[in-house]
Amino acid sequence: MSAPQRLPRPAPARVLACGAYLKNAACLLDGAEVAWSPQHGDLDAATAREALAASIDALLARSAGPVDAVAHDLHPDFPSTRLAIALARRLGVPAIPVQHHHAHVAAVHAELGLQTPVIGLALDGVGLGDDGRAWGGEVLRVRAGAQAHRWRRVGHLRPLPLPGGDAAAREPWRLVAAVLHEAGRGERIVPRLAPVVGAAAAGTIATMLERGLNCPPTTSAGRWFDAAAGALGLSVRQTADAQAAVALERRARAGLDADPDLAPPACGLDPLPMVAALLEVDPADRIAVDRAAAGFHLALADGLAQAAIEAARGPSARTDAVGDVVTGGGCFANALLRARIGERLRGAGLRMHAVDPRRCGDAGLALGQAWVAASAVAAGAC
């Protein structure tokens, strides 16, 4: 265990949080002190699941008193969720589910000691939404302090089908097929992708999309980054986490270095027309690819920032407006996206809050879970 983290403000209840599925870490929130477990990695490995169970026991052993609740992700099938529910039953305390993207925003709320309601931009690969669908490009309105467990979704990126479900996160070519289908160009899937992955694979995915078979929709910002990288020929299959997005950001930086005043296309919260247009860029034309990658970054950032600005103004400027925007989720490890959104928010007179990019993803999620659950316990909402 590392040295405890100190928060600017104490939580109103003692909570153990079990984290999520990827980059898992658990924590014990006790007043203003946060004790963290080591990072266990992804819970698909038996060794990671065993390490999480051992860490939970170690955190309980160092607790100054009995915990009031155990917090976990909303997804019922995560090993961390199952461990949390079993632990809560054993201890006789509530097991409190916390929506994934709400937890990302709440982690920043807790770490920075914010006391005001915020608009949250939560951008990542995936997290289960309260509608049972895969989220990941979210605009949330989140309360603060004793109301930190209260939130609502006020916007999101356009959903994109995932042919083959989780397999699409590892193979951006599938997302290229999804973009072609959504843009009404399904007949181009096989001619476009057969030279890359084979006619059989391309044809199977085209049929799945046409029939809506195993193509769950997601609002994930991460998948839109993968789709853009695939459209520009930068990634077919990923062998490392965020490999396609990193390649896309690298080319975008080259594009902005060559043209700092590049004007992006309009995007809003619907990246489909923009990503469909990337399919017309010649992957062999390095300058064109660099410019297109830069335009994608700027346009997506501008669309998300504008959505946050409009949400911050609220339906009634006098009673609903907020001045703070919190950013969280693994996509904010992208420095170009982070900087552009911050620039746009500050230009609109809003304050942008974030934690260290190394903790913006799921490795820091447990703190947000614990913070929300502590608020729910104090409010009697569990």
Rounded Cα–Cα distance for residues 199 and 191 (Å)? 8
The answer to whether the CB of 309 falls within 8 A of the CB of 321 is: no
Number of helices (H) and strands (E), helices first, in the chain?
A: 13, 13
Each residue of 364-376: b (16+ CB within 10 Å) or e? bbbbbbbbbbbbb
Phi/psi of residue 204, each to 5°? Answer: -60, -45
pTM of the shown model: 0.95
Task: Convert 263-275 into a string of H (helix), E (strand) and C (coil).
Answer: CCCCCCCCCHHHH
pLDDT at residue 359, rounded to an integer: 77
- Enumerate domains of the chain plus CATH numbers: 5-116+361-379 (3.30.420.360)
Q: Which of 141-145, 162-166, 169-173, 335-339 has the lowest mean pLDDT?
A: 141-145
Tens-digit pLDDT profile for residues 55-66: 999 999 999 899
**Residues 325-362 pLDDT 10s:** 999 999 999 999 999 999 999 999 999 999 887 777 89
Answer yes or no: is pLDDT of 314 > 80: no
Compute and round to an integer the Cα radius of gyration of the chain: 21
Q: Which residues contact 306 (CB under 8 A, 6 or more apart)?
A: 268, 344
pLDDT of residue 319: 56
